[in-house]
Amino acid sequence: MATYELENLKSNIGFLVSTNEFLSSSTSPDVAKLFFAGCKDTDDYKVVNFEITADVSSLKNLVFVDIDKCLGINCESEILFNIGSIFKIEDVNHNSDIGAPIGNYTQALEYYTKVLHCRNDQSNMARIRLNIGAIYSMSNDCEKGLKLCIEVRDIIQQVQLCPYNEIIRYQGIIGDINLIQKDYDTAEHYYIAAFETSKRFLFTDHRLRLHCIKSLTDLYVKRNMKEYAIQFCLDQLSVYEIYLPEIRVNIANLSMKISELFEDSSDQKQDLLLKALRILETSVHLEYVATANCLMMIAEYYQKQNFDERASNYYIR
């Protein structure tokens, strides 16, 4: 929603608003959140989630229908409101959860902790600890995250067949922890170790290789080495383009990452985003979130160049 429209709502508590078309909603907050996954607040637009309360007993006309009941399936818990439905604005509050990544870290931590008590082989135990360590890292609980990564390292040393995925992951998580603590030298050491391991033992298109590239890029930006970060990414993009078919989604994801490093007015930013979109739209496997994020980035680019009609077209898509 445009920021000025949101401010208008805030200043008109108790007033009525009407829809000029059918309004699709959901009784499930989690389903509703999926529709703005990846969206971010900007100066001009805000992510808004409407909570609708309907007193069915007092309704005189049929204004909405439960789609799942009509179809006889349990899908998106969809509720469809009629054209011209009228709503009263009761309140407008900021909810920080909307802008946060979808997921309940506390719940995930509880599940992983339970699994630790089950009988698993050493490789699975290492993976479980890494997942818990990643949660601690995302929650800025660096001490617990680091402790688990060290435990994983000790477990891996006892495994006969070396699990390179887990090695790369624990190196990356330790790098993340040091990045949070602003120990950039140590973070770079672990990020490079993870990247080099991925180059030696994983396929070029492996998702962990891309994750290593993004981690090093973020580190270089933190160290005010943006030009170096751009060149590093372009070098890796060249590797992808040489060894992978053009339709590979990793090329699109890396192109989007590189575009973030260029100035808003840069033609290179536009070229990279349009290239990424072409790949995503012709990919065999549909990448809904990546495609939506790419469309949003292109729309924001055109909006900042004052090409409002172009921006609107991409926002609508």
For the segment 43-99, what is each residue's pLDDT rounded down to a tens digit?
777 777 777 776 555 555 555 555 555 555 555 566 666 666 666 676 666 554 444
Per-residue pLDDT tens over the stretch 226-264: 999 999 999 999 999 888 776 588 899 999 999 999 988
Taking residues 145-165, report their average pLDDT: 83
- The values of phi and psi at residue 222, to 5°, are -60, -35
pLDDT-derived band at 18 (thresholds 50, 70, 90) equals low
Percentage above 90 pLDDT, the chain: 31
Task: Tell me the whole-structure pTM to 2 decimals.
Answer: 0.64
Residue type, 86: I
pLDDT-derived band at 100 (thresholds 50, 70, 90) equals very low
Residue ranges of domains in the chain? 3-88, 104-224, 247-317
C-alpha 67: how far from chain center? 29
* Cα–Cα nearest to 168, from 203, 220, 117: 203
Write down the CATH number for the domain with range 104-224. 1.25.40.10
Cβ proximity of 23 and 88 under 8 Å: no
pLDDT-derived band at 283 (thresholds 50, 70, 90) equals confident
